[in-house]
Amino acid sequence: MSAPRYFWHDTAVQLVTHIPAWLNVPIGLLMVSILAFVDYITGSEISFSVFYLMPVLYVTWFSGRPSGALIAVISAATWGLVDVAAGATYSSPIIPVWNSIVRLCFFLISLWLLGQLHRTNAEVGILAQTDSLTGLANTRSLYEALGHEIMRLNRYDRPFTLAYADLDRFKSVNDAHGHASGDELLRRIAQAFKSALRDSDITARLGGDEFAILMPETDRNAAAFALTRAFESITAIVQSKAGSLPGIGITIGAIVFLTPPESIDAAVSAADKAMYEGKRAGKNTINLLTYSTKPDAQATD
């Protein structure tokens, strides 16, 4: 019985999150109007205070604090007017004004706290998908994107390339110049990857001095061009930062998938194997292979 409940919940969440931000303000105003009508017909003895907070929180979460503040002002004013219209009596005419101001302050505090929560939630989401040192995607983010590319290749027959890169003798950089210099080199290499590749390509740091590059809709020629450009840029950076150390460089192994791999792990393993084959061949090189299960295509080059 739980599956239908979760289905409708997830569907509702997806529908709400896809509503344009500007449309949430009219929706919030509609919510306030409905609440005001129900509040009025039920009389002044029944409190609807907590319900007036709902449109404020809704608009704040999905459209931001400025829009939420607008709804807060309208909700507080509407609440006060409805109280008076419903027959509430006060010992002084200043009391309903004071009450409305207090309610508005309560709304504003609530929307500020919710805005902080929304900001923190967004920051946590970004941190969960990125590498803290380089700002690149992390392993989790790469695997999610790779899964989508495998499904797209399976459905639309569009190739993609997965590359695995590893710095040669990176430990000697840390030993000779310290970990701070090693970290700076990793950050510069990460920036070089981002500059040499397309915005649609995903570069991830898998840990240590290992990187992965996912290039959607990329055949062998396009992959060779992009990886060569990245390789040359990174080689120049390595030489400028650690050229005095022998054997420093980068080895890239890449697989152009013309047909889908068996799994995400199989794709990563194939790219990793191509990289190690490049290291065994002498390091500081690009080893570009092709994967296909089609009988008229060559599996590896």
d(CA 220, CA 257): 9
Closest CA to 283 of 165, 176, 171: 165
pLDDT at 158: 92
pLDDT at 188: 92
For tokens 């590749």, the residue is 197
* DSSP one-letter string for 193-206: HHHHS-TTSEEEEE
Q: Which of 131, 168, 209, 272 is catalytic?
A: 209
d(CA 87, CA 127): 53
Q: Alpha-carbon Rg of the chain, whole angstroms?
A: 29
pLDDT at 7: 47
pLDDT at 291: 93
**Sign of CA pseudo-dihedral 120, 126, 132, 135:** negative
Contact indicator for 257, 263 with CB cutoff of 8 Å: no
**Sign of CA pseudo-dihedral 220, 225, 228, 233:** negative
pLDDT in tens, the chain (301 residues): 444 554 444 555 556 667 787 899 999 999 999 999 998 998 877 877 789 999 999 999 888 899 999 999 999 999 889 988 887 888 888 988 898 899 999 999 999 999 888 888 877 776 777 888 999 999 999 999 999 999 999 999 999 999 999 999 888 888 888 889 889 999 999 999 999 999 999 999 998 899 999 999 999 999 999 999 999 999 999 888 776 677 788 999 999 999 999 999 999 999 999 999 999 998 999 999 999 887 665 544 4
Threshold 0.85, pTM exceeds:
no
Is 131 known to be catalytic?
A: no
d(CA 31, CA 74): 11
| Structural domains present in the chain | 2-129 (no CATH), 139-291 (3.30.70.270)
What are 253's strand-pairing partners? 164, 287
Which tokens hold the place of 216? 């959607």
